[in-house]
Amino acid sequence: MIRKIAILTSGGDAPGMNACLRACIRAGLYQGKEMYVVYDGLRGLVEGDIRQVNKDFTQDIINRGGTIIRSARIPEFKEEAVSKKAADNLRDFEIDALIGIGGDGTFRGLQALSKHGVICIGIPGTIDNDVGSTDETIGFATALNTICDCVDKLKDTSGSHQRCSLIEVMGRHCGDLAMFAALAEGAEGVICVEHPLKKEVLFRKLRKMKAQNKSHAIIIVSENLLDINELAGEIAKETGFDTRTEVLGRLQRGGSPTAHDRILAARFGAKAVELLCDKEPTSRIVGIKQNEIVDYPIDEAVEMKHRHTHGLRDLIDMLQ
C-alpha cells in the first residue's frame, strides 16, 4: 500500500501547476497519505530536496501562476546513473510513489524512474498542448487567453498605423497555440507545422487587402519555424504593407490560471491520487479525452502522438 507520496513540477512552468499541486496534496491527505514536495523538479529530486507538507502549504495557491515548488530542466536525467540517484533519494525518504506535473520531457523522466522501481503518475502540465495522451494540458487555456489579450492590444496599434503585425507565439513544435489563437482572433494568417507558410498565397492575400484599403493584418506564427524579421522584410517588399514583428515569449507562461485550467488541474490531481490508492498501483499518465479523465500505462502514453483538433485547419481557412 502507498503511504507516502511526493509531487514535483518539471519542465517549462504552466499556469495551473499550483492548482494541481494543491489538488494532489489535499486529495492525498484526504486519503490518509503523507504528502511531500520536491523542489526544483527532477533536478531537485537528484539533489534530494524533498520536504513533507500539510494542508496549510496549499493555502491561497489555487490562483497563483508559476509553480511555488519551482521547476527546472535537466537533460542529464537521461543518464542511467542520474535517474538512479533520484530513485535512491526517494527510497531514502521511504517515499512509495511520485506524481510529476509537466510535459513530455517530464514523463520520460518518470518513465526512467519507473524502470528503477518507483511508482510514478504523470500529469500533463504545459502551455504547448503537445502531449499525445491527452486532448488538453494544464496551462494551455490560460496561455491562449494571454495571447488573445496581447493580440487584442496589438490590433489597436496595428490598425491605427495600418500595419501588418507578425506575432510569434510559443508551442515548441506544436501549432495548437498558434492555430487556436488565430481562430480566436480572426487573424488574417497563421503559420505553424500543421498550417505551413505558402508565401505566394500570403503575399497575394495581403496585396489584395492593401488594394482594397483593408487597414491592417494580423499573422500568428509558431516559434522555431522561421525568422519572423526576415519574413517581415519580404512582406513589406512584396505587398507594400508596413510590417512589424512581436515575440510574445515567456509572457505566455505567466499569470493566474483561468477557471478552466484550475478545474482541469483539480480533476487531474484527484485522479492521480485515486490511481495511487489502487490495491496494486502501477506507473501511469493521466489525461482528458472527450471530457473524460483517462489514464494509460506510462510506456504506452509516452509513445502516443498528439492529435490536432479535427477540422480546426479547415475552419481557420474558411473563416479567414
The DSSP element (H or E) to which 288 belongs, if any, is strand 284-289
Contact pick of 112, 170, 183, 220 for ligand F6P (by CB under 6 A): 170
Q: Which stretch binds ligand F6P (CB under 6 A): 39-47, 88-96, 122-130, 274-282?
A: 122-130
Class of residue 303 by CB neighbours under 10 A (exposed 0-12, middle 13-18, buried 19+): exposed
For residues 175 and 144, the answer to whether their CB atoms sit within 8 Å is: no
Residue 311 Ramachandran class (φ > 0 left, ψ -120 to 50 alpha, else beta):
left
Question: What's the rounded Cα separation, in Å, for the pair 298 and 122?
Answer: 8
Residue 249 Ramachandran class (φ > 0 left, ψ -120 to 50 alpha, else beta):
left
Residue 308 Ramachandran class (φ > 0 left, ψ -120 to 50 alpha, else beta):
beta
Contact pick of 4, 84, 116, 172 for ligand F6P (by CB under 6 A): 172
Report how far apart, in Å, the C-alpha atoms of 231 and of each of 150, 181, 187, 208 are: 21, 20, 17, 18
For residues 124 and 285, the answer to whether their CB atoms sit within 8 Å is: yes
Q: Which of residues 280-319 bind ligand F6P (CB under 6 A)?
A: none
For residues 17 and 67, the answer to whether their CB atoms sit within 8 Å is: yes
Extract the C-alpha cell encoding 169: 507565439
Q: Does 126 bind ligand F6P (CB under 6 A)?
A: yes
Q: Which of residues 65-104 bind ligand F6P (CB under 6 A)?
A: 73, 103
Q: Which stretch binds ligand F6P (CB under 6 A): 53-61, 78-86, 125-133, 267-275?
A: 125-133
**Residue closest to ligand F6P (Cβ):** 12
How far is the first Cα of the chain from the last one, in angstroms, to the nearest whole number?
A: 56
**Catalytic residue (one of 40, 128, 135, 295):** 128
Residue 4 CB, shortest distance to ligand F6P, in Å, is 29
Q: Does the annotation mark 128 as catalytic?
A: yes
Contact pick of 127, 147, 231, 298 for ligand F6P (by CB under 6 A): 127
Q: Which stretch binds ligand F6P (CB under 6 A): 22-30, 59-67, 126-134, 264-272?
A: 126-134
Contact pick of 128, 135, 136, 261 for ligand F6P (by CB under 6 A): 128
Q: Which of residues 228-257 bind ligand F6P (CB under 6 A)?
A: 250, 253
- Which positions touch ligand F6P (CB under 6 A)? 11-12, 73, 103, 126-128, 170-172, 223, 250, 253
Residues with catalytic function: 128
